Amino acid sequence: MGIQWQLIAPVILLQLILVVIALVSLAKAEAETIRGSKLLWVIIILFGNILGSIVYFVAGRRD
């Protein structure tokens, strides 16, 4: 029984897209528009997988 890549590939692609978009958004954001430190959000985004990126967009931004 092998890995069914046709089921896993879209999830991995979605995760990579969300991480890149979140990191670019974080890099462009001013310090006043972020709740917490940028370094903390980088760690959450990178190690939180899909949920880390979603949490950043929902709770991390003030605007």
Encode pLDDT of 8-36 as tens digits.
999 999 999 999 999 999 999 888 888 88
The per-residue pLDDT for 13 is 94
CA separation for the pair 58, 44 (Å, rounded):
13
Q: Is 61 helix (H, G, I), strand (E, B) or coil?
A: strand
Q: What are phi and psi of 39, to 5 degrees?
A: -60, -40
The angle that helices 38-47 and 5-28 make with each other, rounded to 10 degrees, is 180
Global pTM?
0.81
Most confident of 7-21, 30-44, 47-61: 7-21
The per-residue pLDDT for 3 is 81
Q: Is 34 helix (H, G, I), strand (E, B) or coil?
A: strand
CA separation for the pair 61, 40 (Å, rounded):
13
Q: Is the pLDDT reported for residue 63 higher than 90? A: no
